[in-house]
Amino acid sequence: MSLPASPATGDTRAVWTGVAGTGEPADRAARTTQPRAVIGVSLKMYFGYQRTLDYCREVAAVALAHPAVQSGEIELFVLPALPALPEAARVLGVSGVGAGAQDIFWEDEGAYTGEVSGRTVAELGGRYAEVGHAERRRIFGEDDRTIGLKTAAAYRNGLTPVLCVGELQPGSVEEAVRHCTADIDAALNRARSLGPAARTIVAYEPQWAIGAPEPATPEYISAVIMGLDTHVRCLPGQAESRVIYGGSAGPGLIGRLDDAVAGLFLGRFAHDPQALKTILDETAVRLGLLVMAGGRP
Model pLDDT for residues 226-251, shown as the tens digit of each residue = 999 999 999 999 999 999 999 889 99
Q: What is the mean pLDDT of residues 129-136?
A: 96
Q: Residue 294 pLDDT > 80, yes or no?
A: no
Positions annotated as catalytic residues are: 133, 205
For residues 106 and 142, is the Cβ–Cβ distance under 8 A? Answer: no
pLDDT, position 22: 43
Give tens-digit pLDDT for 178-193.
Answer: 999 999 999 999 999 9
pLDDT, position 202: 98
Average pLDDT, the chain: 90
CB proximity list for 153: less than 8 A, separation 6 or greater: 104, 105, 106, 107, 108, 117, 118, 129
- Whether domain 103-264 has CATH 3.40.250.10: no
Q: What is the mean pLDDT of residues 44-55?
A: 98
Give the model's confidence band at 4: pLDDT under 50 very low, under 70 low, under 90 confident, else very high: very low
Give the model's confidence band at 19: pLDDT under 50 very low, under 70 low, under 90 confident, else very high: low
pLDDT more than 70, % of the chain:
88
Q: What is the domain partition of the chain in residue ranges?
A: 1-36+47-93+267-297, 103-264
Quick check: pTM over 0.95? Answer: no
SS (H, E, C) the chain: CEECCCCCCCCCEEEECCCCCCCCCCCCCCCCCCCCEEEEEECCCCCCHHHHHHHHHHHHHHHHCCHHHHCCCEEEEEECCHHHHHHHHHHHHCCCCEEEECCCECCCCCCCCCCCEHHHHHHCCCCEEEECCHHHHHHHCCCHHHHHHHHHHHHHCCCEEEEEECCCCCCCHHHHHHHHHHHHHHHHHHHHCCCCCCCCEEEECCHHHCCCCCCCCHHHHHHHHHHHHHHHHCCCCCCCCEEEEECCCCCCCHHHCCCCCCEEEECHHHCCHHHHHHHHHHHHHHCCCEEEECCCC
pLDDT more than 90, % of the chain:
82
Q: What is the mean pLDDT of residues 148-162?
A: 98
